[in-house]
A and B are shown apart, each in its own frame.
Chain A
Amino acid sequence: MVTLWFVVLALWMSVVIYEAFSLPPIEGLAAHPVVYFHPPVAMVTFVIFLVTTFFGVRYLRLKSPDDDIKSWKAAELGLLFATLATVTGAFWSRVNWGSYWSWDPKQTGIFVVLLIYTAYGALRSSIPDPDRRGRLCAVYAMIGFISALFFMFVLPRVLPSLHPNDALIGRGSARPVRLLFLGSAAGFLGIFFTMFSLSVRLEQIKTQIKELKS
């Protein structure tokens, strides 16, 4: 079943990659296939941070160690996806704006978000007591998510920014571009949920092995 899902995911993303390179260029945008990579990854990053917060809140309510593990693993994957969005964004910025990093409000925002979720990892590893760690990390995840929303969605709209907002999924873009964009986002979401379920299961098994050995 897992293998079949992997095949479906690989096929889906192969079609997205193929179409990304075969669709005609978008006017005024260099390296246009990145449209189907950088923005979807950035969108999925925020879904992941929402998942982190969701399981954090659930842990605070139900005190189930599984929810704490899920919140932690989602935060780790969120950091991975945020890094990928930043790296691809920096390369794309070099082609379109002339420099890798220009401290644009959106770039500054993602930099702060990366710091927030790196600190989450540091906080997690600094508390040995599992319940205290779970509670603190859950509260931190909530505050982190609210800050991330502010830095990524409010600040770039208030300050002048080179970075476009919602330009590709709005009605201004052509239908094939919009469809492929959403297809790519769905594919990355699929990759995230597969990684998420695998890494949560891995952590649960590691705990089980520790208990069996002790």
Chain B
Amino acid sequence: MTHPMTVMAVCLVIWFGLFGYLVYLACRLGSLEKQVKSLTMPKDEQDER
């Protein structure tokens, strides 16, 4: 018989896994937004930086 605590542990792992995935999506979005900014920035402005 599976112990009730095992079931709860599985739920908690999934709960935190979802949050981890959320944070991953936000970080990936941030890095891609930076990439778009650098691609759309005029070349002389990039050199200045």
A residues at B contact (CB < 8 Å): 2, 6, 9-10, 13, 17, 21, 30-31, 33-34, 37-38, 84, 87-88, 91-92, 94-95, 98, 191, 194-195, 198-199, 201-202, 205-206, 208-209, 212-213
Report the Cα distance A30→B22, complex, angstroms. Answer: 30
Question: Is the CB–CB distance between B10 and A91 below 8 Å?
Answer: yes
Q: Which residue of B lies closest to A10 (CB)?
A: B19
Question: Is the CB–CB distance between B14 and A206 below 8 Å?
Answer: no
Q: Would you give the shortest CB distance from B1 to chain A, in whole angstroms?
A: 7
Number of A-B residue pairs having CB atoms within 8 Å of each other in the complex = 79
Question: Is the CB–CB distance between A17 and B29 below 8 Å?
Answer: no
Report the Cα distance A2→B2, complex, angstroms. Answer: 39
Question: Is the CB–CB distance between A33 and B29 below 8 Å?
Answer: no
Question: Is the CB–CB distance between B4 and A202 below 8 Å?
Answer: no
Instruction: Give chain B's interface secondary structure class.
Output: helix
- B11: which A residues are within 8 A, CB to CB? 33-34, 37-38, 88
Question: Is the CB–CB distance between B8 and A31 below 8 Å?
Answer: yes
B residues at A contact (CB < 8 Å): 1-8, 10-12, 14-15, 18-19, 21-23, 25-26, 28-29, 32-33, 35-36, 39-40
Within 8 Å by CB of B10, from A2, A6, A87, A213, lies A87
Given A17-B12, A31-B4, A88-B11, 7 more A-B residue pairs with CB atoms under 8 Å apart are: A88-B7, A94-B7, A95-B4, A195-B21, A209-B32, A209-B36, A212-B36
Report the Cα distance A92→B4, complex, angstroms. Answer: 8
Q: Would you give the shortest CB distance from B8 to chain A, in whole angstroms?
A: 5
With contacts A209-B35, A212-B36, A212-B39 taken as known, whether A202 is within 8 angstroms of B10 at the C-beta atoms is no
With contacts A33-B11, A92-B7 taken as known, whether A6 is within 8 angstroms of B39 at the C-beta atoms is no
Report the Cα distance A84→B15, complex, angstroms. Answer: 10
Question: Is the CB–CB distance between B15 and A201 below 8 Å?
Answer: no
Pairs A–B under 8 Å by Cβ, sample size 24: A6-B22, A9-B22, A13-B15, A33-B8, A37-B15, A84-B14, A84-B18, A87-B10, A87-B14, A88-B11, A94-B1, A94-B2, A95-B4, A95-B7, A98-B1, A191-B18, A191-B22, A199-B25, A202-B25, A205-B29, A205-B32, A209-B39, A212-B36, A212-B40
